[in-house]
Structure 1
């Protein structure tokens, strides 16, 4: 059914949604963005699903946006760029609004869009060996469409520590920032995730869904205005000379002009 994801559901109704581009470190391209949107809606509407665990195959959780996909957006015309940015924004929105509890199993590194995916989880548990970073500015880009979710997760003061610098940080700092709830040794990760999953199975599914919706409604606003602003910011940045230079330098295996 999916080319870039795998989904399995156990007898308890715990679905495991796995990013499955291990050779590309589960980087987000157009196909994965589309399939994640579909999966979020399908799992959210399935009465047999009680909890969703978001995971990644291979060494990394998610390396962020696929650079070949981003280079194509930079080279595209305006409407194509806008469509690409909107697809990414609406994928994150679909995961954020999924009525089922979304538990992140962060076994490996997460950069850029991977941080955005962690931020839409209700709780994320990280392996203490994982590394993290909002690395966009190193490429002349900005963390635009993920921005509303990162700010909602960390709060502005915490987010500003890492939002603009592209600095890498470890799992302990991810916990301090509020990005991850816990950091555990890799061998303890599944048990820690299960400890987050199990309580939901004793709760009324409808009550869980309504409580999650209420929390989202009472939290920082992420409505159409914020989403449209993030789309516009991403499109503008894709059109900038810095973005063209940053992506070109990466593929040319050289330092960009500012590096």
Structure 2
């Protein structure tokens, strides 16, 4: 295990546990089932540190985000919310900024990310799911953008929620705060697949991702982030041409093309 992964032993806490297996699959597991895995400022701080460690660990190929118990995450911890009520504007700005950084870090994470959702997925938890590349859920999972019910708004998660489920559905559910089902989440694009056995459901995705070029997948993530909502013009055309030209001459692309032409499995560990 790399030095980066060794740091995980330091930052594992009561809020969640992180491990990296021999295949390079990193798993962050929320471990507060008694409070439906609700997060607080400590969870956010630890998540930010953990994501920073994992993104720079060359041994990590895929990141899984999951939770212990019956529920994925009920959003903000009630005790944290009690503390937030006492904060002034500047303190609230700093506090919100930390959650915004977690969302951005997860959204920009350079390796493929998969969310496993069961039970309640409320408030900020929907933001975590929306930031992952692939989102899987059980058929009984429930979703709710509940902020307006307590006088708040889903501000820092809104860009990712809109990107995942579209403006039309976001307008409805951010305004009403109503529950919606796993089937509806699938229909809206927030979730990709449903199955009550999430591990079995994830296995084909994981195997496929492990077969793919790590450098190419990282380049794809960067590409899609950069071209989203970008006008198709000469600048974009030039940029995408430069990206494909650059990756064609990379070591991994040369290995992948050679393997394809010679009908063999590529070895992504070659330098």
The normalised TM-score by structure 2 is: 0.78
- 1:132 counterpart SS class: strand
CA deviation digits over 1:68-102, x for unaligned, max 9?
21221221122211110100111111111110101
Indicate whether 1:197 and 2:174 are aligned. no
How many angstroms does 1:161 deviate by? 2.6
Structure 2 residue corresponding to 1:50, chosen from 55, 58, 61: 61
Q: Which residue does 1:18 correspond to in 2?
A: 29
Q: Please point out which of 118, 125, 137 is paired with 1:114.
A: 125
Q: 2 CA distance for matches of 1:194 and 1:39?
A: 24
How far is 1:36 from its partner?
A: 0.9
Unaligned runs of 5+ in 2: 1-9, 231-271
**Partner residue, 1:211:** 220
5 Å-filtered alignment, 1:161-176, equals: 161-176=172-187
Task: Measure the CA separation in 1 of the matches of 2:216 and 2:188.
Answer: 29
Task: Decide whether the 8 Å contact of 1:112 with 1:134 is kept in 2.
Answer: yes
Match of 2:164 among 150, 153, 162: 153
The whole-number CA distance in structure 2 between the counterparts of 1:196 and 1:218 is 24
Q: Decide which of 5, 27, 49 is 2:16's aligned counterpart.
A: 5
Please give the secondary structure, in 2, of the residue aligned with 1:163: helix
Cα distance in 2 between the residues matched to 1:134 and 1:78: 23
Residue pair 1:152, 1:220 contacting (<8 A) in 2 also: no
Please state whether the residue corresponding to 1:116 is helix, strand or coil.
helix
Gapped runs of 5+ residues in structure 1? Answer: 222-259
Q: How many residues align?
A: 219
Report the alpha carbon displacement of residue 220 of structure 1 after superposing the two structures with TM: 4.4
Question: Within 5 Å, which residues of 2 pair with 1:1-259?
Answer: 1=10, 2-3=12-13, 4-184=15-195, 186=196, 188-220=197-229
Does structure 2 conserve the Cα–Cα contact (< 8 Å) formed by 1:124 and 1:179?
A: yes
Consecutive aligned runs of 4 or more in structure 1 exceeding 4 Å deviation:
none
Larger Rg computed on CA atoms: 2
